[in-house]
A and B are shown apart, each in its own frame.
Chain A
Amino acid sequence: RKEVEQDPGPFNVPEGATVAFNCTYSNSASQSFFWYRQDCRKEPKLLMSVYSSGNEDGRFTAQLNRASQYISLLIRDSKLSDSATYLCVVDGGSQGNLIFGKGTKLSVKP
Chain B
Amino acid sequence: ETGVTQSPTHLIKTRGQQVTLRCSSQSGHNTVSWYQQALGQGPQFIFQYYREEENGRGNFPPRFSGLQFPNYSSELNVNALELDDSALYLCASSQHRGTNEKLFFGSGTQLSVL
Contacts and interface: CB of A to CB of B under 8 A. Distances in A.
B37 to A, nearest CB: 8
A96 B106 CA distance: 17
A97 B99 contact: yes
A4 B42 contact: yes
Interface stretch (B14-22, B44-52, B73-81): B44-52
Contacts of B25: none
Contacts, number: 63
A27 B3 CA distance: 32
Interface string B8-47: 0000000000000000000000010101000011111101
Contacts of A49: 100, 102
20 contacts: A43-B105, A43-B107, A44-B90, A49-B100, A87-B42, A87-B43, A91-B100, A92-B45, A95-B56, A96-B50, A96-B55, A97-B56, A98-B99, A99-B45, A100-B35, A100-B42, A100-B44, A102-B40, A102-B41, A102-B42
